[in-house]
Copies of this chain bind each other. A is one copy, B any other.
Amino acid sequence: MKFEVTIMGCSSAAPTKNRNLTAQVLNSDDQLFLIDCGEATQMQFIKYHIKYSRINRIFISHLHGDHYLGLVPLLFSYHLFGRTKSLHVYANAALEEIIHLQLKASDSALGYPLIFHPLAENKSEMLYDDDKLSIISFPLKHGVPTHGFVFRQTNAQLNLDTTKIKGLNLTHEQLQTLKQGSDVIAENGQLITYKSITLPQESPKIYAFCTDTAYSLSVVHFVKDADLLYHEATFMHHMLKSAEEKHHSTTLQAGEIAKRARVKRLLIGHYSARYDDLRPLLNETATVFPNVELAEEGKTFII
């Protein structure tokens, strides 16, 4: 089952020549989830061939401009393209008023239901849960109310081993029963155990998204054992004082969170515009947590 994240932007605060603002697309079995939506995210969708009509849920970490100012343009474009299916937006409550004021100014009503879910401040909530994925929010430490998100595969269903079901004449209902972990009796009276016909279950994967945040050990609990943790690393560690003043993290701090949470892989991003070359950020983080990669535009990370 597909479970991967593609980076649309990785710059902090303002765009640079080569880097756009924060936005990531999580693909879970071809359902797309958008995480943050900086200015020009829709242009990035076009550039990187993202089928963005498939996005039904959008998660906004906080209301600093670089994380959400691409949202209202995207809402308008969906309307122009004739979207009719619901769009769910999870964000700080203040965003709802911003959206409605901008719709009013353009004398527009969207042609599809926009369902706004205000995020509870200073706590963790279950935002979404189906038979493939659950999504929770958790609080980060930043200048304004800010949330991280954890996307966890639920994998309630098993996958059939297609090489073994041929010739058994099983009905659609029987196949569904097997996928749910129960045995069935075939037409010829033979007992078919679900274990004999399904693939060994992969352990459900976890993606954790953490931006923007000051160094905060309370994050460790929420992102524990993630297969992939995205953690911001706005600055090299010698800029610790700037990071603290601006409620951001350094390379070494991102690595430290990854190490303490025992995640499998770390992805850093949200780089300050002062860095042209990102390798020093990667190398410094690796001194604490070696299995680290750079979030870069257009790159897809399989989780």
What is the interface of chain A, defined by CB distance below 8 A to chain B?
Answer: 13-17, 20, 39-40, 42-43, 46-47, 63-66, 69-70, 72-73, 76-77, 80-81, 92, 94-95, 97-98, 101-102, 104-107, 143-144
Most chain B CB neighbours (cut-off 10 Å) among A39, A66, A94 = A39
With A94-B105, A107-B143, A144-B107 already in contact, the answer to whether A13 and B65 are too (CB < 8 A) is: no
Return 8 A-B CB contacts under 8 Å, by A number.
A13-B77, A14-B76, A43-B43, A65-B106, A66-B73, A69-B102, A98-B98, A107-B143
Cβ of A217 to closest chain B Cβ, rounded Å: 24
Is B42 a contact partner of A80 (Cβ separation < 8 A)? no
> Which residues of B lie under 8 Å from residue A43 when comparing CB positions?
15, 20, 39-40, 43
Chain B residues near A98 (CB-CB < 8 A): 98, 101-102, 105
Stoichiometry (number of copies): 2
Partner of A39, one of B13, B40, B64, B65: B40
- Complex formed: what's the CA distance from A94 to B64 in Å? 21
* Contact B69 A65, beta carbon cutoff 8 Å: no
B77-A73 in contact (CB<8A): no
CA–CA, A92 to B95, complex, Å? 22
Closest to A39 in B: B73
